[in-house]
Amino acid sequence: MPVEASNHAADIDALFFFITDVSVILFLLITVVSVAFLWLYRRKGKALFTSPISHNNRLEITWTIIPTILVFVVFFWGFRSYLDMQVIETDAMEIKVTGKKWFWAFDYPNGVNSVNELVVPEGKPLKFLISSEDVLHSFYIPAFRAKMDAVPNRYSVIGTRPTKQGTFDIFCTEYCGKSHSEMIGKVRVVSTTEYNKWLEEAESGGNVSPAEFGAKLYVSKACATCHSVDGSANTGPTWKGIYGTKHKMADGKEVIVDENYLRQSMLEPNANVVAGYQPVMPTYQGILKDKQIDALIAYIKSLK
Ligand code: CUA
């Protein structure tokens, strides 16, 4: 089992083990009894025929009532655990989770956002408000034992409280297209002090040059999923040496890659689609701040 890093992880695990144990015990019991009966009641001589007993009320009631009780235990236990995740604690911090082809975007209460990296303070009740911008995705943090579909035009909710510091996986568990397997992220559970420090740096990049900040954003905003910086082919054009070059678009016109073109490509990616590529890039409108766009442009310019 992955580590238990949220308030309801232990409960989910207990239910999981209960179902597993009951299944194993019943499987063994039924198998052993079946094999034993096959042996004990085999045809022992020519004159022996099948027993004339047609049914046994007491036995039939017993094997109906026991499984019914087990099913109800599992149902109410599971239902209670589900409600635990749906009922939001009053002082919960709301984080908007958005699935897009193919990354996760997180919006924090004070306007900061991150991509594929979710940072949360330990011990703080959280409300994940989950939706999708395109197709069905499913937001899954195994260490939190929390999973919820991300549905376009609809919000779904998970209430949880991280109880352990560390870095844990985030997966998409709904097949959502070509790069579904790359739709992965990390959740970092940190102390409140560290969280506040991270918020500050996420906003401004800290004390680094625009190009260095851009290099960080290249990874943290998931540009790296589709664009290489070493010239190799990927879902989107490589960034290496792209600045200042002339590109042929799918509609036949030619565009020079300058600051305005790069900015437009981030905010309105379908305005100009480079010939030979699919129009699959999501818009970064609302995700990238002006300062971050500037930094990314500076980074792209630095890739000679
Ligand atoms: Cu998103 Cu699979």
pLDDT digits (tens, 9 = 90+) for 49-62: 767 788 899 999 99
Q: Which atom of ligand 1 is nearest to the CA of 137?
A: 1
- Ligand 1 centroid–CA 228 distance in Å is 21
The boundaries of every CATH 1.10.760.10 domain in the chain are 210-302
Ligand 1, atom 1, lies closest to the CA of 137
Ligand 1 pocket, residue 99 CB under 6 Å: yes
Kindly state if the Cβ of 170 falls inside 6 Å of ligand 1: no
Expressed in angstroms and rounded, the spacing between residue 270 Cα and the centre of ligand 1 is 21
Q: In angstroms, what is the span from residue 148 Cα to ligand 1's centroid?
A: 12
Query: Which tens digit of pLDDT belongs to each residue from 266-295?
Result: 999 888 888 888 888 888 887 888 888 988
Predicted confidence at residue 192, as pLDDT, reads 92
pLDDT of residue 205: 66
Residue carrying the six token digits 């209430």: 159
User: Worst-scoring range by mean pLDDT, 121-135, 141-155, 246-260?
Assistant: 246-260
Using the predicted structure, report yes or no on whether residue 230 has a pLDDT greater than 80: yes
What is the Cα–Cα distance from 124 to 89, expressed in whole angstroms?
10
Residues 6 or more apart whose Cβ sits within 8 Å of residue 44: none
Give the integer Cα–Cα distance in Å for 122 and 186: 15
- How far is it, in rounded angstroms, from Cα 140 to Cα 65? 36
Alpha-carbon distance of 280 to 101, in angstroms, equals: 8
Backbone angles phi, psi at 272, to 5 degrees: -135, 110
**Angle at 113 (CA atoms; ends 136, 203), nearest 5 degrees:** 165
When the pLDDT of each residue in the chain is averaged and rounded to a whole number, the result is 89
Fold of 210-302: Cytochrome Bc1 Complex; Chain D, domain 2 (1.10.760)
**Ligand 1 mean position, distance from CA 175 (Å):** 5
Q: How far is the CA of 134 from the centre of ligand 1 (A)?
A: 10
CATH 2.60.40.420 fits 93-204, yes or no: yes
Global pTM reads 0.71
Atom number in ligand 1 closest to CA 101: 1
137 lines ligand 1 (CB under 6 A): yes
Our answer on whether the CB atom of 176 is closer than 6 Å to any ligand 1 atom is: yes
pLDDT category of residue 4 using cuts at 50, 70 and 90: very high
Is the confidence at residue 80, as pLDDT, over 90?
Answer: yes
